[in-house]
A and B are shown apart, each in its own frame.
Chain A
Amino acid sequence: MNETAHIEHRDYATAKLGMWLFLFTEILLFGGMFLVYAEYRQLNTADFHEAGREMNVFLGAANTVILLTSSLTMALAISAIKKGMKIRSLLFQAATVLLGLGFLVNKYFEWSDHIRKGLYPDSPVLLAMSHGKILFFGLYYVMTGIHALHVIIGLSVIVFMFALTLRGNISDTDYVKLENTGLFWHIVDIIWIYLFPLFYLIL
């Protein structure tokens, strides 16, 4: 390898390794919350099952389908840019953003429905319920809330990547930024894959 070939220094493997290490901290962040959920559920099984019936399985399933599909469009956006198909990649990135927004709209309807019923942290309705149900709804709001925050962050980054792709900053010779964005988006999807049965499917 001669010197001139490395004027523009890019370290592809390290960029990806850095992203994976960050994702591991995300796994540990949510892992801690899953641990709290597992322990409280073990101690309040009956209350958790009763509180779980308040959840709208249909909306939860719809959001699962939306996120899984957005993961597909994200993966396709990356393979399109690798093949140099810029327009196709942009379209798939846009589709990912639209699906992510759809997820948040569903979440909005879901939460406003709970709040209308008086089921929000520290509400008089909730405080009158048993200890286990208070814990269930507390965990529900914290875990799906932090997850929704990740969706918002992920969407913002994808919009940023869309602009970079449009300007040619991300191309078939340099796409690691888009790949790392994809990795983040997929980990958000994986977390939802676990949240869905834990909160919506305890019937």
Chain B
Amino acid sequence: MEENTSHHVATRTFVFVWIALLCLTGLTIKAAQMQMGEWSMVANIAIASVKASLVLWFFMHLKYEKRLFKLLLFVPIITISIIIVLTFFDIWYR
């Protein structure tokens, strides 16, 4: 079992992350109600990405995994980003 690198995370850490996620949920609702037009959308996506990172990093233990796991995550993220950006070039400049 030598490769079973289990890492004990304190309950307190998880609860703090959970509180942060709830606060960000409140913030995203506030951002939407401020009626900033397309900037509300940008703010909401940014806040969602912070929330997703918190879940990935702590709840999904990525912080305590080998570097391989952290690097691999960039494969789907970069793939999706390239597809979305290229599609939008088509919408904007057609």
B-contacting residues of A (Cβ < 8 Å)? 1, 10-13, 16-17, 20-21, 24, 27-28, 31, 34-35, 38-39, 42-43, 57, 61, 64-65, 68-69, 71-72, 74-76, 79, 82-83, 173, 179, 182-183, 186-187, 189-190, 193-194, 196-198, 201-203
Contacts and interface: CB of A to CB of B under 8 A. Distances in A.
Interface size bucket, B side? Answer: 35 or more
| B interface SS class | helix
A27 B8 contact: no
A116 B40 CA distance: 30
Contacts of B83: 31, 35
Interface in B1-37: 1-4, 6, 8-9, 11, 14-15, 17-18, 21-22, 25, 28-29, 31-33, 35
Contact of A76 (B6, B11, B33, B44): B11
A79 B58 CA distance: 12
A65 B84 contact: no
Contact of A72 (B15, B29, B75, B91): B15
Given A35-B87, A43-B91, A79-B14, A201 B1 contact: no
Contacts of B80: 27-28, 31, 34-35
Contacts, number: 126
| A interface SS class | helix
A7 to B, nearest CB: 12
B63 to A, nearest CB: 12
A68 B28 CA distance: 14
A173 B76 contact: no
A30 B84 CA distance: 13
Interface in B38-94: 40-41, 44-45, 47-48, 51-52, 55-56, 58-61, 65-66, 68-69, 72-73, 75-77, 79-80, 83-84, 87-88, 91
B76 A24 contact: yes
B52 A193 contact: yes
A202 B41 contact: yes
Given A20-B72, A31-B80, A201 B56 contact: no
5 contacts: A16-B69, A79-B14, A179-B61, A189-B55, A196-B25
Contact of A79 (B9, B25, B84): B9
Contacts of A24: 72-73, 75-76
A24 B72 CA distance: 9
Q: Which of B15, B41, B69 has the most CB of A within 10 A?
A: B41
Given A27-B76, A197-B44, A72 B14 contact: yes
